[in-house]
Structure 1
Amino acid sequence: MTAIVGVLNKHAVAVAADSAATINGTLGRKVLNQANKIITISKYHPIAVMIYSSSSFLGTPWDVIVKLYRDNLKEKDFNSVSDYISDFIKFLSDNSFFCSEGFQRKVLRMHIFRLYQDIERKAIAIIGGEVTDSNKPYLFKTIKDELSSLKEKLDKSEPCEGLKSYTFEKFEKYSIDILDELYNYIVNHTGASPELYEHAKQTAFSFLKSSFNLLGYTGLVFVGYGKFDIFPSLKSINVSTAFDGFLKYSYDKQSEAVISENNMAAICPFAQTDVMETILTGIDPSVKHFVSDLFFKSLNAYSTLVSNTIKANNGDSILSTAIEKLDISGIRKVFDEAINNIIGKQYISPLVDTVAYLEKEDMAEMAESLISLTFLKRRMMSSEETVGGPVDVAIISKSDGFVWIKRKHYFQPDLNHHFFSNYYIK
């Protein structure tokens, strides 16, 4: 797991990341504390990328891919951070996503089967946890309903950026062997109808094409300056997988920050953000969600109590029924908006206003502190320490470029002068 953050104002952007990486091995989970999550994209220009969630893409470590891209880029630069992202995606495609087509198919099969089997397990739990000949028809109906509900939700979402032009016909043609296996599993193995298989196939396509992240996705946070940028910007993409020459990725537009005359500062946390959000908003996100749910449940309980009281006293049945059917979701929305407004006015705005005037040193200290506090909370809890290790900190500015403030090395710098001498040779 990971905690990374970017702190931006008109002077520069400070980035910080922990070093913990969680490995899921055959014997269980293990946390390593030497991962590198901040990597420069260019040796010559003020642009970098931060990595969170999965540390590899289709089996290839992201740090290897980014450094190969850096070597390929050389002294070339682009007008904006968005242009760097576009070129990086093209680089992935031009290099066949750094894995064989056979491996891409293997990963695609895993995602398709996992989707269906997760729904199958959920349906089995709904019918009581045991499958018998007598309840199989009900099981298949439940699976079909779950597939239909999920597909409806997926179709309402925006398609992911990389698969907007991808058609169902291309998917069927490319995945014919995988879909044959799925048919064999659903129809021949479980005894379901071909109609259920069709539902599963359509839902799998909608799932792949949607902007929802697949298990094992990676967040890539591009941060710095384009050639014509005076102020820094931060833009994030989520990359899930690749197949048939297409990359499944989407822009995380809610997390992007562009410094301008109208937006003087921003604080952008990623991955494990609960501690940082608590500091920024004055309330733990889980507590905020609990309060909202409690308010909604209390309103429901109150309306039920009023309705039952009217019935118990031989009151108007039409009135009591109307009270039971009251739609109170609008009240909850007003309540949540009021909470968000007070958080914005009393916590977020004053803090962001202060960040707008911080110098580089203070920004670096703030970014490091946000990561360190996240680590401290994880360390004091009885659960796994999924944030930890050395904190890497860097400043990116227009004039000075990328400057490390704190950085761990896998070697001793004073014994490896040739590394630094050769850094710009290639």
Structure 2
Amino acid sequence: MTAEIAIMSRTAVVLAADSATTVTSWKDGLQERRYFKGANKLFELSRSAPVGLMIYGSASLQGVPWELAIKSFREDLGEEQHDRLEAYPKRFFDFIEHHEKLFSEQARNQALFNLIGSAAYRMQKMVSDQHELDSLAGLSALSTAQVDQALDIIEATVDEMPLHALITDVDIANAIAKSSTSFIEAAPESLIIFQNQPDRASLVPKFVNTLIKYAVKDFINFSDRTGVVIAGYGKDDYYPSLEVFECYGFLGDRLIFSRQDPRNMDAESPAVIQPFATTSMIDTFRMGVAPDVFGAVFDSTSLALADFGRKVMEECGTPDAVQSERLAELVKEARDGHTDKWFHKIRNQHFFPLSNIIHSLPLPDMAGLAKSLIELESLKERVTKPSESVSGPIDVAIISKHDGFVWIDRKHYFKPELNPRFFKRS
């Protein structure tokens, strides 16, 4: 887990990130988690342009640390600058997608193989569930006809699965072309459903092709996603912009990522306070109410109104005057109107005043606000959870049009006074 924030005014954009990272491993069938407090999540993306980048979520892409990919891109970019900020993420993701040394063809094929292999258990479980078996071991007792019938049902189910907007039929066709042969060869020995079952050999291609289609369609749900935040200015930008992406990794040769609507500042725009990853305390600060409290009030209001309506009808001696469906409609209408009024009020009392004042804050105060909000999130994690998944030194940077990328707080894994040559090289 992590906590990050971007605060953007007409003058600059401030980025802040904690340093906690979680490493998950398995031992004797149990999941073990270890927490470290030295991860780098905030980077200068260009040596000459005022552009910064933050990551949250997975710390690596197909096993390659994001830090290595980001710094390699910075070296490749050199002194080159672009007119608009939006060109930097395009160039960045294009660099990653076509970098054959960092992400070799063998590594991409292995990632696809692992994706399909991880779906094999789930698909065998589908066959098991079709016949209400207690475990996958019971698959050996099924007849070939029963397995074939189950595969027909699963194949129809997979075909009906919606295709995510980021995935295409071409991705499925490419995955089948690349992987079907090797999986068909390996299935009789590696999959429980075919082990020591030579009479099921004719069903292997059917199983494998459905498996690959299922794995690709389910790719988004099981990928290690990383949030990528890019902020700053292009040469022709006078106000800062904020771009947010979610990267899901390679699907064959294609890098799968999505882009959120950009936040572009102008002379009339309200300030932006955008938290990422763990956001509960930051949301509470800027909205005046915690998200979980908002949800609890929303739900309890529905129950209270419905109960009140029934009691009124009973007091009037007409407990069945309003049908339950109509009562639910009236409750929803009253609840939504009530929620809109009080939520509008807290926005006017908390969010809008804070947004307006940020435009007037000096840059050091903007940086201090960003750091304080991350510290607030870290404090909540420390006193409410044993993991301290938001913790460690907080890195803070200010990006402005003419001063560029400026570090306000930055951790080092070494003592700066002992390494003057490092700063000369930089």
**Range of TM-score over shorter length:** 0.7 to 0.9
1:243 aligned residue? 251
Question: What is the correspondence of 1:241-320 to structure 2 with a 5 Å cutoff?
Answer: 241-253=249-261, 256-296=262-302, 320=323
What is the CA–CA distance in structure 1 between the aligned matches of 2:76 and 2:102, rounded to whole Å? Answer: 14
Q: Evaluate the alpha carbon distance shift between residue 297 and residue 314 of structure 1 in structure 2; reply closer, same or farther with a 3 A threshold.
A: closer
Structure 1 residue 78, shift from structure 2 partner:
1.0
2:215 aligned residue? 204
Matching residue within 219, 223, 231 for 1:223: 231
Structure 1 residue 35, shift from structure 2 partner:
0.7
2:349 aligned residue? 346
Q: Is the Cα contact below 8 Å between 1:21 and 1:31 reproduced in 2? A: yes
Return the TM-score normalized by structure 1: 0.80
1:86 aligned residue? 90
Q: Is the Cα contact below 8 Å between 1:116 and 1:200 reproduced in 2? A: yes
Give 3-state SS (helix, strand or coil) of 1:96's partner: coil
- Structure 2 gap segments, 5+ residues each: none
2:175 aligned residue? 171
Q: Evaluate the alpha carbon distance shift between residue 79 and residue 128 of structure 1 in structure 2; reply closer, same or farther with a 3 A threshold.
A: same
What amino acid is aligned across from residue 3 of structure 1 in structure 2? A
Return the TM-score normalized by structure 2: 0.80
Q: Evaluate the alpha carbon distance shift between residue 71 and residue 313 of structure 1 in structure 2; reply closer, same or farther with a 3 A threshold.
A: closer
What amino acid is aligned across from residue 235 of structure 2 in structure 1? K
- Structure 1 gap segments, 5+ residues each: none
Q: Is the Cα contact below 8 Å between 2:371 and 2:396 reproduced in 1? A: yes
Deviates more, 1:142-151 or 1:81-90: 142-151
What is the CA–CA distance in structure 2 between the aligned matches of 1:149 and 1:357, rounded to whole Å? Answer: 55
Give 3-state SS (helix, strand or coil) of 1:370's partner: helix
Q: Evaluate the alpha carbon distance shift between residue 298 and residue 148 of structure 1 in structure 2; reply closer, same or farther with a 3 A threshold.
A: farther
Give 3-state SS (helix, strand or coil) of 1:29's partner: strand
What is the CA–CA distance in structure 2 between the aligned matches of 1:115 and 1:36, rounded to whole Å? Answer: 32
Question: What is the correspondence of 1:6-25 to structure 2 with a 5 Å cutoff?
Answer: 6-25=6-25
Q: Is the Cα contact below 8 Å between 2:21 and 2:39 reproduced in 1? A: yes
| Deviations, residues 66-113 of structure 1 (Å, cap 9, x unaligned) | 111111111001122210001011111221372333332333343344
What is the CA–CA distance in structure 1 between the aligned matches of 2:33 and 2:260, rounded to whole Å? Answer: 28
Asked whether 1:233 is paired with 2:237, we answer no
1:396 aligned residue? 399
Aligned length: 405
1:418 aligned residue? 421
Structure 1 residue 282, shift from structure 2 partner:
1.5
Matching residue within 69, 77, 94 for 2:81: 77
Structure 1 residue 5, shift from structure 2 partner:
0.5
2:52 aligned residue? 48
What is the CA–CA distance in structure 2 between the aligned matches of 1:142 and 1:279, rounded to whole Å? Answer: 52
Q: Evaluate the alpha carbon distance shift between residue 150 and residue 172 of structure 1 in structure 2; reply closer, same or farther with a 3 A threshold.
A: closer
Computing the radius of gyration from Cα coordinates, the structure with the larger value is 2
What is the CA–CA distance in structure 2 between the aligned matches of 1:169 and 1:230, rounded to whole Å? Answer: 45
1:111 aligned residue? 115
What amino acid is aligned across from residue 419 of structure 1 in structure 2? F
What is the CA–CA distance in structure 2 between the aligned matches of 1:202 and 1:418, rounded to whole Å? Answer: 53
CA RMSD in angstroms, aligned pairs only: 4.1
Question: What is the correspondence of 1:376-391 to structure 2 with a 5 Å cutoff?
Answer: 376-391=379-394
What is the CA–CA distance in structure 2 between the aligned matches of 1:127 and 1:201, rounded to whole Å? Answer: 22
What is the CA–CA distance in structure 2 between the aligned matches of 1:229 and 1:219, rounded to whole Å? Answer: 24
What is the CA–CA distance in structure 2 between the aligned matches of 1:214 and 1:351, rounded to whole Å? Answer: 38
Give 3-state SS (helix, strand or coil) of 1:388's partner: coil
| Deviations, residues 369-413 of structure 1 (Å, cap 9, x unaligned) | 010000101111143100111111111111101111111111222
What amino acid is aligned across from residue 25 of structure 2 in structure 1? G
What is the CA–CA distance in structure 1 between the aligned matches of 2:305 and 2:131, rounded to whole Å? Answer: 31
Q: Evaluate the alpha carbon distance shift between residue 333 and residue 169 of structure 1 in structure 2; reply closer, same or farther with a 3 A threshold.
A: farther
Give 3-state SS (helix, strand or coil) of 2:229's partner: strand
Give 3-state SS (helix, strand or coil) of 1:6's partner: strand
Deviates more, 1:22-31 or 1:222-231: 22-31
Structure 1 residue 366, shift from structure 2 partner:
0.5
| Deviations, residues 303-324 of structure 1 (Å, cap 9, x unaligned) | 8x69x98xx99979xx757658
What is the CA–CA distance in structure 2 between the aligned matches of 1:378 and 1:121, rounded to whole Å? Answer: 37
Q: Evaluate the alpha carbon distance shift between residue 403 and residue 147 of structure 1 in structure 2; reply closer, same or farther with a 3 A threshold.
A: farther
What amino acid is aligned across from residue 416 of structure 2 in structure 1? P
What is the CA–CA distance in structure 2 between the aligned matches of 1:401 and 1:407, rounded to whole Å? Answer: 16
What amino acid is aligned across from residue 23 of structure 1 in structure 2? V
What amino acid is aligned across from residue 357 of structure 1 in structure 2? S
Deviates more, 1:13-22 or 1:411-420: 411-420
What is the CA–CA distance in structure 2 between the aligned matches of 1:126 and 1:361, rounded to whole Å? Answer: 62
1:408 aligned residue? 411
Give 3-state SS (helix, strand or coil) of 1:283's partner: coil
